[in-house]
Structure 1
Amino acid sequence: MRSAAYELFGKPELHSRPNVFGELMRVLISPSPSIEAVVNSVLANNDEPDITLHMRMMMSRSLWSVTAALRCIRKALENVEKIAKPKVILVSDNPSFIMTLKASVQELAEVIHFDYERITRNISHDFTRLNTLEFRVKDWGSAPRWVAFVDFFLASRAKHAVISGANKRVGTTYAQLIAALAAANNLDENAKTNPNFSFLSSFQSNLLKNGLSNQIGWGHAWNRFAGPLSCHEQTQQCAYTPILPPGWWDEIWQSPIARDIRRLRMYGVKLSGLGTIDEEHLQSYCKSKKSAVIIAPVSAM
């Protein structure tokens, strides 16, 4: 299984891991005509944005997260060619929080964001089946569900970087998929690489005070750095983030949390507190799962 994973995803220690999900999305998905029309209306001047900032706030209005995100924007701009007025797309599950962000980001760049309330009265009937479900508001925000599709395809137009920030956790799957598609959209077909594209995560003090203890979830880029060995007592950090997160086959988990140690054991992967894998236990587990076929001769009567 590990050999098959390496063949498909590449070996991370050799920096050869391809942007598998970004390439698949670029080929397999595209916005509906209604969604595409809205995206193009936001980018009325046809200029592609430089950076995307996605903030998942879950009803919070934490200014710590704003400070950390601004630091990440500055870091991303350092790697962008000198542009008179770089363009930054703002996306958030908390629409009202966009205005707080906008006031701060405008000092660094031109701000682009989708104000869905301005076009609500003129939206197509295609959107009527994608309205907000009230019980999801705290988690996904008050905007109708179709807005997330507009934001997704708008955010994936960034040319140089995608930045993920949040109140309780960062590097969400939504932001990872945006970064993957944006990187694929900007791939240099001749060079086969895009060294100028970055996926960054902004961490603020309340996340780093006790290590990354809230960074849980199988698709999370930072969950393997969330255990007892993770970095503590930092004020903030802007970290380069892998578009395709590491998997258990990549060997050492930096600092697995107890829950993931228990869950992986169910699949035969025995992790130590230091993140090492017990190869003998894994082989024994796989052999025990093999179906045994018993052939019994039957004599003719």
Structure 2
Amino acid sequence: MKHPRKKGPSVQAILLVCTISTCLCLFLAFRSVEPELPTETIENPFRFGTIREPETDQQISPRQQQSSSCATVEKMGETFAEGSGAESLRVRKIIEDHFALHGAPRVRGLPSDQFCRQGFVIGKASEAGFGNEMYKILTASALSVLLNRSLIIGQTRGKYPFGEYISYTNLSFTLREVKHLWRQNDCEGKYGRHLIMRTDDFEKASETNVLCSDWRKWKQPIIWFQGTTDAVAAQFFLKNVHPGMRNVASLLFGDPGALQSRPNVFGELMRVVVSPSQVVEEAVNQVLNGSAGPDVALHMRMRMNRSIRAIRAALNCIKKALHSYQQNDARPQVVLVSDTPSLIRDITPNLTEFAEVIHFDYKRFKGNLSSGSTNAVPHQSLRWTGDDFIHEDGMIIVEYRGDETWDRHDASLNFRVKDWGPAPRWVAFVDFFLASRAKHAVVSGAHRRVGTTYAQLIAALAAAHRLGEDSSTDSRFSFLSSFQSNLLVDGLGNQIGWGHVWNRFAGPLSCRHQAHQCAFTPLLPPAWWDGIWQSPISRDVRRLQAYGIHLTDSGEVVGTHLDSFCRAKKDIVKIAPVYRH
């Protein structure tokens, strides 16, 4: 008996299966899968020649770039390309006039009746992150200008914050001197004026009076505006419900909607208020070795991560900076600053192809900044004794005494190594003042968030140094932000946090899936959303509601709601005596 033969698969079926399999393989091979924020840790990945975009990066098409519904970071930055030298010089004159009138040399010599009517603003900082803490001092300086008061820089145990590394202006007071002069002039006995301090905490949104009160009318001799860790807090006065407060704030900070002409306020204040200590200046001069300053400074906050894309983007940005001003064949000088030592090693071979590279190597520095002496122990033996942690307002303060030294590898400080890097803490101050000597540009890059407070202040101080009496000179100084493509998969949506310079551009007007970007960056980080291409993220919309601010979808403040909020808000007054009898 014959059994029927089983039929095998037809030729057509086999061809169909093969065709489908081939298509799937091709689709998977060419499909670009971009992780949210990858950490690249390849053994030796940084030896590359010509800078090219990775073929797998999702990039925005020319048609998308021209769309009016969103903008790339470079498009947003076009507003800041020309600089605002005339406005910065105008603010420089305001600051100089203010300190000539309200500076310590004049005020301490006033007759008793005038001195006892004088008002003060105090700026107090701990020794946490340098950028955030310096903004506390600079915000107090700005507030003293707004309110026509003298500046006090707070001390802890008789020492200034970061006092080994920073010298503060003699135009400011210490609280100890004000207390002495208050007694000497018998302000309480003769005029019944008690030395008390009124505090206002910006970070306590439901309590702060930054939007609802006319601070010019506050009668307390000393004002302390707390929690001002970035450029935003002082600019809240631009939306204060009292026209007089808005006017004085606009005089200093400019029109928040005219992004192209806003002055370099914090750079001009730094130029007056702080300078490097003698030993830091010596370290900077050792690196410069007789040169006037680097042409370009690159700051990369990588938080111990290695990224090929970040280096490629930064190299392209440095080339853009050099191309914008170079007029001769001289070999440019680039200074490198980073919290991650491997970044210096990885990027240097590519930079040396077209520039001279310098950076501060603390192990070779002939001196010791931890004790404020250039004749002290070598850096390799630096160690922290662990005896002087002081907690003030939740911040850790590190006090230095005499020959006590500090090792950043001490176990008690290991939690900060990823934030600040493994080098001794004082290295950040040499790096800061070295980078702020840049003559033409500061470039900021990062593993995650670009334009930190540290980078902002480097650029602001460098621009202020560069600006001469002729306002046209600053048009050749640039602050540039370097974004690698994987940071822009969601546009600028990951630039969260009010301390980051692009936060006010992070909303839906920022295009997704951008290529590497090298964007001109504002020297005065905006605090509001009044300018072109600015839009808020939902997180900030919710946060502002606690301050009484309702934003429209485009980021405009609903003024009627703020007026109603302030009328209903209880006026919270927190005062404390500066000393007791």
What TM-score do the two structures reach when normalised by structure 1? 0.90
Structure 1 equivalent of residue 272 of structure 2? 27
Q: Which moved more, 1:258-267 or 1:244-253?
A: 244-253
- Does the aligned pair in 2 maintain the 1:92–1:98 contact within 8 Å? yes
Q: Distance in 1 between matches of 2:552 and 2:298?
A: 36
Deviation at 1:125, TM superposition (A): 4.8
Deviation at 1:291, TM superposition (A): 4.9
Q: Distance in 1 between matches of 2:474 and 2:554?
A: 33
Deviation at 1:62, TM superposition (A): 0.4
Evaluate the alpha carbon distance shift between residue 35 and residue 130 of structure 1 in structure 2; reply closer, same or farther with a 3 A threshold: farther
Matches within 5 A, 1:26-175: 26-83=271-328, 84-119=330-365, 122-126=367-371, 129=405, 131-132=407-408, 133-175=413-455
Q: Which amino acid counterpart does residue 174 of structure 1 have in structure 2?
A: Y
| Alignment gaps of 5+ in structure 1 | 293-301
- Does the aligned pair in 2 maintain the 1:88–1:112 contact within 8 Å? yes
Q: Which moved more, 1:146-155 or 1:28-37?
A: 28-37
Evaluate the alpha carbon distance shift between residue 284 and residue 144 of structure 1 in structure 2; reply closer, same or farther with a 3 A threshold: same
Aligned pair partner of 1:241 in 521, 531, 552: 521
Q: Distance in 2 between matches of 1:202 and 1:219?
A: 17
- Does the aligned pair in 1 maintain the 2:313–2:516 contact within 8 Å? yes
- Does the aligned pair in 2 maintain the 1:157–1:182 contact within 8 Å? yes
Q: Distance in 1 between matches of 2:471 and 2:270?
A: 20
Deviation at 1:16, TM superposition (A): 3.1
* Secondary structure in 2 matching 1:126: coil
Evaluate the alpha carbon distance shift between residue 252 and residue 71 of structure 1 in structure 2; reply closer, same or farther with a 3 A threshold: closer
Q: Which amino acid counterpart does residue 159 of structure 1 have in structure 2?
A: K
Structure 2 equivalent of residue 297 of structure 1? none
Q: Distance in 2 between matches of 1:243 and 1:283?
A: 31
1:173-192 deviation digits (Å, cap 9, x = unpaired): 11000000000111112337
- Does the aligned pair in 1 maintain the 2:504–2:529 contact within 8 Å? no
**Does residue 223 of the first structure (1) align with residue 503 of the second (2)?**
yes
* Secondary structure in 1 matching 2:268: helix
Q: Distance in 2 between matches of 1:148 and 1:52?
A: 14
Q: Which moved more, 1:52-61 or 1:230-239?
A: 230-239
Structure 2 equivalent of residue 259 of structure 1? 539
Q: Which amino acid counterpart does residue 507 of structure 2 have in structure 1?
A: G
Structure 2 equivalent of residue 295 of structure 1? none
Q: Distance in 1 between matches of 2:568 and 2:290?
A: 62
Evaluate the alpha carbon distance shift between residue 169 and residue 284 of structure 1 in structure 2; reply closer, same or farther with a 3 A threshold: same
Structure 1 equivalent of residue 392 of structure 2? none
Q: Which moved more, 1:1-10 or 1:22-31?
A: 1-10
Structure 1 equivalent of residue 261 of structure 2? 16
Q: Which has the larger radius of gyration?
A: 2
Q: Distance in 1 between matches of 2:407 and 2:327?
A: 41
Q: Distance in 1 between matches of 2:251 and 2:549?
A: 20
Evaluate the alpha carbon distance shift between residue 130 and residue 157 of structure 1 in structure 2; reply closer, same or farther with a 3 A threshold: farther
Structure 1 equivalent of residue 555 of structure 2? 275
Q: Which amino acid counterpart does residue 549 of structure 2 have in structure 1?
A: V
What TM-score do the two structures reach when normalised by structure 2? 0.48
RMSD over aligned CA atoms reads 2.1
| Alignment gaps of 5+ in structure 2 | 1-236, 239-245, 373-403, 573-581
Structure 1 equivalent of residue 466 of structure 2? 186
Identity of aligned residues (%): 61
1:168-223 deviation digits (Å, cap 9, x = unpaired): 11011110000000001111123376111110000111101121222111121111
